[in-house]
Structure 1
């Protein structure tokens, strides 16, 4: 039962995440600390620090380590598989769809809006980690889409950051909302 719970928790994290490891940190934090109660905030920050120091994507490293803390090696494998499976399935489907529709203005706008939301999630995760640990910097690998970043993107990022910081706005709803806003603005 525990292994199924670990798989489903990380599958849920994997399926509702967009934007990579740093953008997943608030989702992992919410699921593992608030929903499941598996870790304290301090334990979570320690795991993020270990996951950051080890080679590989932070989300996979975090899932592997958290799975291990709950159910040893089998828990690691189940958590890792759970967090990776949705991305693998989504990439196969999205690669096909985006290749067929990338020239459409609404698709371009939605992607630009989503990028703004993802950047806000990364900024929010950085802020939460800096406040929680007293660290001032985190090395970020931002997407190449920033080449076309403009004042609208900056306003969207700031708005998303404040929504995440001052409200209980769910990160998935933020990405959907800002995807729609991207269609309208761009």
Structure 2
């Protein structure tokens, strides 16, 4: 029972104090599960992140479910998912109840403007850490850069980029003997 409470608490404190969504939560989740608790190793965390991104749904909840399941099975996944979701749910509920009273307040507007750059930084950190763990080097960095530009500038659907990347990786492995 104690382990379930620990798992719930890990994700509850991350969910409570993280702005910017799942990507901003990644470095905190990694620090708690990989660095501090040693519940997962770096490769398991990278794999969980990849699956969580590919699966439908919210990234942080998907990672919580995958991590909880890896550590303690079904009930571990329930505890982690509830820990990740409940704080945000309660905070959003409270904001919805009271936000209309102060949304035009210039101080509140400035606070939100100040939070934006911090959220961008919180999202950038896990991107670079995951790239390093995934083995992206200066020689291969053009692949994610071109993918991002195709989606952002040319409006190519991310589905097509993922399918083309998968096909390209498969063909590369076949040519270079990596896949049989």
Q: Please indicate the TM-score interval, normalised by the length of the shorter structure.
A: 0.7 to 0.9
Q: Which has the larger radius of gyration?
A: 2
| Whole-angstrom distance in 1 between the partners of 2:35 and 2:133 | 16
- RMSD across aligned positions (CA): 1.7
User: What residue in structure 1 maps to residue 128 of structure 2?
Assistant: 127
User: What residue in structure 2 maps to residue 37 of structure 1?
Assistant: 38
User: What residue in structure 2 maps to residue 3 of structure 1?
Assistant: 4
Q: How does 1:1-186 map to 2 (within 5 A)?
A: 1-135=2-136, 136=141, 137=144
Segments of 4+ moved more than 4 angstroms: none
CA contact (8 A) 1:47 1:66 kept: yes
The SS at the match of 2:47 is: helix
Q: What TM-score comes out, normalization by structure 1 length?
A: 0.70
Per-residue deviation, 1:107: 0.7
| Whole-angstrom distance in 1 between the partners of 2:112 and 2:98 | 13
Per-residue deviation, 1:96: 2.7
| Whole-angstrom distance in 1 between the partners of 2:114 and 2:23 | 18
1:127-161 CA-to-partner distances (Å, cap 9, x unmatched) read 11112213543989xxxxxxxxxxxxxxxxxxxxx
CA contact (8 A) 1:14 1:82 kept: yes
| Whole-angstrom distance in 1 between the partners of 2:117 and 2:99 | 18
Per-residue deviation, 1:25: 0.5
Q: What TM-score comes out, normalization by structure 2 length?
A: 0.73
CA contact (8 A) 1:13 1:31 kept: no
| Whole-angstrom distance in 1 between the partners of 2:106 and 2:76 | 44
User: What residue in structure 1 maps to residue 155 of structure 2?
Assistant: none
The size of the alignment, in residue pairs, is 140
